[in-house]
Amino acid sequence: MAAVLPLADLRQQGRPGTWLNTIIKGDCVAALEALPDRSVDAIFADPPYNLQLGGTLHRPDQSLVDAVDDEWDQFASFQAYDAFTRAWLLACRRVLKPNGTIWVIGSYHNIFRVGAMLQDLNFWLLNDIVWRKTNPMPNFKGRRFQNAHETMIWASRDAKAKSYTFNYEALKASNDDVQMRSDWLFPICSGGERLKGEDGKKVHPTQKPEALLARVIMASTKPGDVILDPFFGTGTTGAVAKRLGRNFVGIEREQDYIDAASERIAAVEPLGKAELTVMTGKKAEPRVAFNTLVESGLVKPGQVLTDDKRRWSAIIRADGTLAAGGDAGSIHRLGAKVQGLDACNGWTFWHYEDGKSLRPIDNLRAVIRNGLAKLD
Amino acid sequence: MAAVLPLADLRQQGRPGTWLNTIIKGDCVAALEALPDRSVDAIFADPPYNLQLGGTLHRPDQSLVDAVDDEWDQFASFQAYDAFTRAWLLACRRVLKPNGTIWVIGSYHNIFRVGAMLQDLNFWLLNDIVWRKTNPMPNFKGRRFQNAHETMIWASRDAKAKSYTFNYEALKASNDDVQMRSDWLFPICSGGERLKGEDGKKVHPTQKPEALLARVIMASTKPGDVILDPFFGTGTTGAVAKRLGRNFVGIEREQDYIDAASERIAAVEPLGKAELTVMTGKKAEPRVAFNTLVESGLVKPGQVLTDDKRRWSAIIRADGTLAAGGDAGSIHRLGAKVQGLDACNGWTFWHYEDGKSLRPIDNLRAVIRNGLAKLD
DNA sequence: GGTAGCGTTGAATCGTTGA
DNA sequence: ATCAACGATTCAACGCTAC
């Protein structure tokens, strides 16, 4: 069983890390305030939606729709909901690391208030993501469009935080090599994944699918990161985080949910290191100066480089700069200069002769990075 | 050319209807305040998105992205944007009929503020609709998810307004007989539809596709309705409204946009009455009492009806009621009674024998409605 | 006359490092 | 703190040109 940590205990010990991979039992804001500053890498929050249901709803066959009418989803007014939202978002902001990001999921009942509050509290919106449901509940009365999606907001702690985690290359590779869009298609949580009590009834009214959390976590965290879920419920965030080699912290008030989550997470087997390795792009690779190619003999002073269509050419000088016409400079500056542009990636612009064909000098950088033998 | 109405003229005349199918030139809020109370059936609004762009953005090939940096999209702060939003939404609310609805489109930069303000002003959110773009602009730097959608909010004037227009059956019929979802897929406006100036450059930076407006208008208005667009731009709302047999009112400040819209709308040919007939659901169809079936001889007193599995049966009485066991009543009440339910649709529950098969008596009601020959 | 190829473009809050 | 240098990065649709 995943450990459960009563809030009172957390307050007393205060030792760093005792709360890692536990479910803190207590009020959301109070629990957040007992956690240290800047201690989590990412937050996933599925707050109450503030559904405004006017009575009961029946299906066309007269069966009763089991609506979300729990006490925790009742707010007296938008004002009350805003105050609640402000409180938990502020508390989240404090425990978030400067380069951390937060996800909040909601429906049209609450997401506009959440989004506006995020902006008011100086979070910086990165994307709004649409979860399109393959199997949404129909609109039984035929008075509106079928409510077939929910919205997630992804935001960084503030506008200046540029180095948040975003595993762009991995997402692209997993998406047929085109960049991941802001609309995601997943089934709702059902079947074996849906937690049911001994009475056969669902334990939690709004359990989210693990696939959704898996994409969120794979996209915006690294293995070993700490992911906080202030409305833990039955622990989907914790289960997926554990499986994906991340740490979690959950906060939850209801003992029934804690029991279900605890048992559920205990049964999760984490993936191995190899499976968790994230595909990275060139951004993650160590820098190699062009001069290194000259020094290692992969290119030689006096050798001629051209662009891929041989429109421009330049000569390599012994100091690792290029010269063309009266101009000289780095591979980047000279590439920009000859084309009349402000900037240019010299590694992909300049090519060398390899037999009959032209190859970008970027290929030679790869030789250095991989520690391969010199070519000559 | 569609008529252009300077705001000063509108203020002087004040005669009802002079502003129908015109473009009012002037400030959005001032123009709205010159229009009478409760005078429009629907509003489509595409307000400034309040994009906050840092600098210039280049594509991987170093070409410059032509960003939306127009003066009208600049706001000093969220507070300023909220004040602007509040002003035009309040003005819209006054001119909207009590059963009217409003659509607002936006992106994550502004839509959360718009949605929260709609709620604060006592509009009642009916749906949020996601416009998924088939061909969105990529994320060039690989720092976020591709921004592949925009969001529309559909709201009624207030919570009590239950008889707003929603052509549920027509939408369903047009959608392979399944109800229309909240996620719509359309291409962005390009090709021949995109208005270009003599210089070949786009007239308006954010022209919306006509297909999007067509679905909005077909879903939530009736032929002859008045549709207001307070940010008319190049008049997509007007062009589609005219084509679909609706009236429009546009408000726009920029003369260049007005000129383009005016010419564009003048060239639109409205569809004929037959094409515009909206498929209506059973709710709008004339009521047919069960007794009418008895009177017309489609069913006969003494005839036996059963449910589709022959679990229960009842006898038709001459007064148009049913009897079973010791109970009697309407087709609905008796259907509920035998099943032990609170309610039941007798039209679909009770079946009659047609040769070897059972058919719902609803089929016979259709015979009456369509004026078909008696079957016997 | 097709069609392959190349260039253009669309509501975008779009970088990191070291001197 | 500011500045310069490095160098990483795009998808679908439309239209024009060349063959």
Looking at this protein, which amino acid is placed at residue A65?
A: V
- Would you say B273 and B300 are in contact if contact means Cβ atoms under 8 Å apart? no
Output the distance from A124 CA to C10 C1' rounded to whole Å.
Answer: 24
Strand D reaches within 7 A of the B14 CB: no
Name the pLDDT band for A62 (thresholds 50, 70, 90).
confident
Cβ pair B78:A120 closer than 8 A: yes
pLDDT at B62: 93
Strand C reaches within 7 A of the B119 CB: no
Q: What is the dihedral of CA A251, A256, A258, A264, to 10 degrees?
A: -140
Mean of the per-residue pLDDT values for chain A? 93
Output the distance from B182 CA to C5 C1' rounded to whole Å.
Answer: 39
Q: Please give the nucleotide, over all strands, whose C1' is closest to the CA of residue A309.
A: C6
- Residue to mutate among A168, A172, A182, A308, with most B CBs inside 10 A, is A182
- Would you say B84 and B29 are in contact if contact means Cβ atoms under 8 Å apart? no
Please tell me the distance from the alpha carbon of residue A304 to that of residue A310, in angstroms, as a whole number: 11
* Chain segment A220-235, per-residue pLDDT in tens: 999 999 999 999 999 9
* Chain segment A205-260, per-residue pLDDT in tens: 999 999 999 999 999 999 999 999 999 999 999 999 999 999 999 999 999 999 99
- Residue to mutate among B146, B172, B308, with most A CBs inside 10 A, is B146
Looking at this protein, which amino acid is placed at residue B271?
A: L
- Residue to mutate among A128, A141, A163, with most B CBs inside 10 A, is A128
CA nearest to B77 within chain A? A120
Q: Please give the nucleotide, over all strands, whose C1' is closest to the CA of residue B109.
A: C13
CA nearest to B168 within chain A? A142
Q: What is the DSSP letter of B374?
A: P
Cβ pair A181:B113 closer than 8 A: no
Output the distance from A124 CA to C1 C1' rounded to whole Å.
Answer: 54
Distance between alpha carbon A234 and the CA centroid of its chain, in Å? Answer: 21
If chain B, 376 residues long, is cut into consecutive pieces of 10 residues, what is the mean pLDDT of each piece? 87 79 97 97 98 92 94 94 98 98 98 98 98 98 98 96 93 86 96 95 97 95 97 98 96 98 96 77 68 79 91 86 84 90 90 89 81 41
Looking at this protein, which amino acid is placed at residue B287?
A: R
Does pLDDT of A198 surpass 70?
yes
Output the distance from A171 CA to D10 C1' rounded to whole Å.
Answer: 15
C-beta atoms surrounding A268 within 10 Å: 17
- Would you say A340 and A334 are in contact if contact means Cβ atoms under 8 Å apart? no
pLDDT at B329: 82
A110 burial level (CB within 10 Å; 0-12, 13-18, 19+): buried
Residue nearest to nucleotide D8 (CA to C1'): A283
* Chain segment A301-335, per-residue pLDDT in tens: 999 999 988 889 999 999 999 999 889 999 999 99
* Chain B residues within an 8 Å CB radius of A143: 166, 168
**Tokens representing residue A171 in the block:** 């997402």
